[in-house]
Structure 1
């Protein structure tokens, strides 16, 4: 039996390896041919099974990647998305997002930077005991974790209350507009 590239397939019936059975070639996995082209002697290599190197009907090798088709529907869909992006509803969702995220990032980064700077510039303050073996640095470090959890909770709450419904409406409208371009297909 031969594979799609014309090489014999091993049937497992003999002591010799598949490389030795392969048309008497040497056991090297790849070698340079006489014309300087790479030759694959690996018995598991099957280039034609993946569609590479096949002839296109004219005797020339077919291109590896078929040329992309530009459909009118794709450009119309792009126009729909641009139209939605320019809409007042989309701009409002983005504005609400930015009004929460930018101050949140600035506050969290400032708090973190303050913690790192205080640890480096005021080691006496950070080493001051608060209760037993717990000092200011430990409380500030735990405060970093607490800040992360509080900011995550606040972001999820803000998204749920102020953006999710409007974003879902925009998504629904966009899908309806693009579905209309395809002629109502599901």
Structure 2
């Protein structure tokens, strides 16, 4: 029976080929480094800098910001309004709506409902407005990493 021994300090075997790769591109050799680099292939930071400056990337970021900033602001205002009303107007929040269900409970459940609604709206917006362009950018970036300079 082969059991795992926690005290065993043997070499770890990592199957992930990206295990030691830095996501930011920092630390990778580029034209100024004396390290080895495949001829003709740009450093990752050059590719990502070029993609970051592209019109398509700026469009994805603009679409993201046009949805997220107003949605986050609206949700925070709604949350703060609930907290302020709960602390400054306890009589209003205690007013019954239906049976034992009062305004505070309805507003609290509304917080949950708007959280789920906002999550659904964000996923829908991403799927319809950003995902296709972002996927195209990913392919362009991969092609630039593989084939530039050939």
Instruction: Give the shorter-chain TM-score range.
Output: 0.7 to 0.9
Shift of the 46–163 alpha-carbon distance from structure 1 to 2, 3 Å rule, reads closer
Structure 1 residue 117 corresponds to structure 2 residue 84: yes
Measure the CA separation in 2 of the matches of 1:69 and 1:139: 55
Residue 61 of structure 2 corresponds to: 94
Q: Larger RCO: Structure 1 or Structure 2 (Cα < 8 Å, ≥ 6 residues apart)?
A: 2
Deviations 1:118-137 (A, max 9, x none): 00000000000011100000
Structure 1 residue 77 corresponds to structure 2 residue 40: no
Residue 155 of structure 1 corresponds to: 122
Report runs of 4+ in structure 1 exceeding 3 Å deviation. Answer: 44-47, 71-75
**Contact conserved, 2:92 with 2:103, CA < 8 A, in 1?**
yes
- What is the TM-score with the length of structure 1 in the denominator? 0.60
Residue 20 of structure 2 corresponds to: none
Residue 74 of structure 2 corresponds to: 107
**Contact conserved, 1:93 with 1:163, CA < 8 A, in 2?**
yes
1:72 Cα deviation after fit: 3.7
Larger proportion of helix: 2
- What is the TM-score with the length of structure 2 in the denominator? 0.73
1:45 Cα deviation after fit: 6.8
Shift of the 85–131 alpha-carbon distance from structure 1 to 2, 3 Å rule, reads same
Q: What is the aligned-residue RMSD (CA, Å)?
A: 2.4
Measure the CA separation in 1 of the matches of 2:117 and 2:149: 45
Measure the CA separation in 2 of the matches of 1:136 and 1:72: 66
Measure the CA separation in 1 of the matches of 2:82 and 2:58: 36
